A and B are shown apart, each in its own frame.
Chain A
Amino acid sequence: MSKKIVVGYDGSESSANALAFAVGLAKASGAGLIIAHVLEWSPYTFLTPTEIEERHKRRTEELERAESALLAPVLQKLAGSGLDVSTALRYGHIAETLIKIAEEDGVEHLVIGRTGHSQLSSRIFGSVAGSLAQAAPVPVTIVP
């Protein structure tokens, strides 16, 4: 069971810093890297009938866009680095989903940017980084 480091990545500057930090950690310790992107989603929301009809189609589009625009460039950049890199693309509550990924086999460390894309709502509702610091099952590093 190889060691793994999970880094939360949403394309923001902060998460890019987190990624760089995680890459450094992985290179130093020989751990594998899991680049996790969570699409914010809750099963308890209210949709219009049209949204319901189109949901499956939209979901496929969202997944494709995340793969090609967000994760693929990162994978490409790290292709020659010699690291064991994999991705995890999920739907759900961001902090909770990252915790679930961190609970998987071999994960030892969770790296996250301090801010994501939404700075204002973070100040009001609490940030992902803050939630993770309080609830993650593994050590968390918050990168500014």
Chain B
Amino acid sequence: MKKLSAAALAATATLAVSAPAMAQSIDEQVNALFASSTGWFVNFIFSPFPGTSFPWIVAWLVVAATIFTLYFGFIQFRAFPHSIALVRGDYSDPDDAGEVSHFQALATALSGTVGLGNIAGVAVAVGIGGPGATFWMILAGLMGMASKFTECTLGVKYRNEYADGTVSGGPMYYMTKGFEERGLPAGKVLAVLFAIFCILGSLGGGNMFQANQAHAQIENVVGDYPGWITGVVFAAIVFVVIVGGLKSIASVTEKVVPFMGVLYVVTALVIILMNADKIGWALGQIIDGAFTGLGVAGGLVGALIQGFKRAAFSNEAGVGSAAIAHSAVRTKEPITEGFVSLLEPFIDTVVICTMTALVIIITGQLVSDPETGIYLLNEGGGTIQTVDGNSGVALTSAAFSSAFGWFQYVLAIAVVLFAFSTMISWSYYGLKAWTFLFGEGKTKELVFKILFCIFVVIGAAASLGPVIDFSDAAIFAMAVVNIIALYALMPIVKKEVNSYLSRLKSGEIKKFN
């Protein structure tokens, strides 16, 4: 017995001593394996049109958003006041009190979309595409509102309401039921493809990217240490919530995240106002950069690509995930969810992402040649030089810290909470896709949940490059399939809009406030 315990002690001691060295190489191994197994998928999604460097996927998303904007006659601007009224509850039947309200659906969908994309993703976009990327990002956000409008309306219209009172909705359902209704083929095929990409997306952008950048910010504050440790801690907490059903953690997070969001935006506004004299210059940089590139990699097109990519990744317009969250709202009019959901890209991209971009620009994080105003690039040519060589969330942290030194700690807490709430939401979306493919059942759900937790660890351990590439690719793949469905089903949405708006005008739609 004594020999065994002595041996165990020795083994543990050896492990403890060599742990740092081993830990580093675990990270590297994970990273290498991940990069090599996802490279082909990433390359396919981001392949450019022949002879150019313009990825086809960006064109796909932007064209779709433009088509929806035009087809619905700039609905995002026409219906904006009505959307606010709906969220406030002005049109909510008092008899429906106790059901899911429009506000709750909006808040939950937002907590899934507002995540590291708004904080770190924007830093990546501006770090590659320069200030000009901000302009294209805002534009993409405004147009994306029409895509979200379309998909969330369909999500409610074609949801499954079960006998026990639960509700399941989302792209998988409008692809199967909606296509059948219109007599179109291949609805099931699209639904299956979407479900596969949704699972990948939930493991990538909804999981790995969040863990990765959360770890980066924690490192920023406490110093370097191996990523898999953060990964394991996060995975354990996520596990306890989604498998153990410990609702209290998720509930607390859901309540704290909105406050962190408001704090973030208010702090950004304060920093911008503190640099009020530079606002004009910053806006000038954004406009100049948007149309000339100001020396960034790829010039104007580079700025445009980065802006569109980040907007799409951050606000998920056209991706279809929000349709899953919005489908459970109690409403007789599916179009009302469309109206409410179009506020999401606005809040996510036009407000929050823009705040991040403005702070980075106005605090002068990007290095430019003082005479020409052209931005200086790093060796390798892809990214712009930054004051401290930061990228990703570290860049955002540095930008905020230059005004308020303590903010990096607040940001660390905010980042962990945003990451966590996004992971909770996306684990749900991924689970819905999983059960759509494999059927309901405790064991099947457990398999996905465990898989999800494993990817938390991988995400935290891998380095930013492969993770963000895979995350982007998976989410954009969802958008490819979803937008095909939206094109096919948009006449249905048009009928709903016209019917609702005419009834609203005639006073048939009751106002309760």
Residues of A with Cβ closer than 8 Å to B? 39, 41, 43-57, 59-60, 62-63, 90-92, 100
Contact = CB atoms under 8 A, between A and B. Distances in A.
B98 interface: yes
Interface in B155-169: 164-168
Contact of A48 (B89, B98, B251): B251
A91 B103 contact: no
A62 B103 CA distance: 21
Interface stretch (B106-114, B213-221, B388-396, B401-409): B106-114
B98 A91 contact: yes
Given A56-B166, A91-B97, A43 B428 contact: no
A96 to B, nearest CB: 11
B254 A48 contact: yes
Nearest to A59: B98
Contact of A56 (B97, B99, B102, B424): B99
B475 interface: no
8 contacts: A41-B98, A44-B103, A46-B111, A47-B107, A48-B108, A52-B108, A52-B325, A91-B97
Interface in B86-136: 89, 92, 94, 97-105, 107-108, 111-112
Contacts of A48: 108, 247, 250-251, 254, 424-425, 428
B197 interface: no
B100 A52 contact: yes
Contact of B97 (A54, A57, A92): A92
A53 B166 contact: yes
Interface in B177-212: none
B258 interface: yes
Given A56-B166, A56-B167, 12 more contacts: A46-B254, A46-B257, A48-B250, A48-B424, A49-B425, A52-B104, A53-B166, A53-B167, A53-B328, A54-B165, A54-B166, A56-B99
A88 B105 CA distance: 27
A55 B108 CA distance: 13
Given A46-B107, A59-B98, A92-B97, A52 B254 contact: no
B328 A43 contact: no
B503 interface: no
Contacts of B108: 46-49, 52
B452 interface: no
A132 to B, nearest CB: 19
B68 interface: no
A92 B94 CA distance: 9
Contacts of A63: 98
Given A49-B112, A52-B108, A53-B328, A43 B92 contact: yes
A56 to B, nearest CB: 5
A48 B89 CA distance: 20
Interface residues of B, number: 36
Nearest to B253: A48
Contact of B98 (A44, A52, A62, A100): A62
Contacts of A51: 247
B252 to A, nearest CB: 10
Interface string B249-282: 0110011011000000000000000000000000
A48 B325 CA distance: 9
B441 to A, nearest CB: 16
Nearest to B101: A43
Nearest to B242: A50
Contact of B99 (A49, A53, A55): A55
B470 interface: no
A60 B162 CA distance: 13
A91 B89 CA distance: 14
Contacts of B434: none
Among A39, A44, A48, max chain B CB count under 10 A is at A48
A41 B250 CA distance: 19
A53 B168 contact: yes
A38 to B, nearest CB: 10
B89 A43 contact: yes
B330 interface: yes
A69 B255 CA distance: 31
Contacts of A52: 100, 104-105, 108, 325, 328
Nearest to A54: B166
Contacts of A91: 97-98
A63 B99 CA distance: 12
Contacts of A100: 94
B150 to A, nearest CB: 21
B429 interface: yes
Nearest to A49: B428
B319 to A, nearest CB: 15
Contacts of A45: 104, 255
A2 to B, nearest CB: 23
B8 to A, nearest CB: 42
A57 B104 CA distance: 16
Contacts of B168: 53
A46 B428 CA distance: 16
Given A56-B99, A56-B328, A49 B424 contact: yes
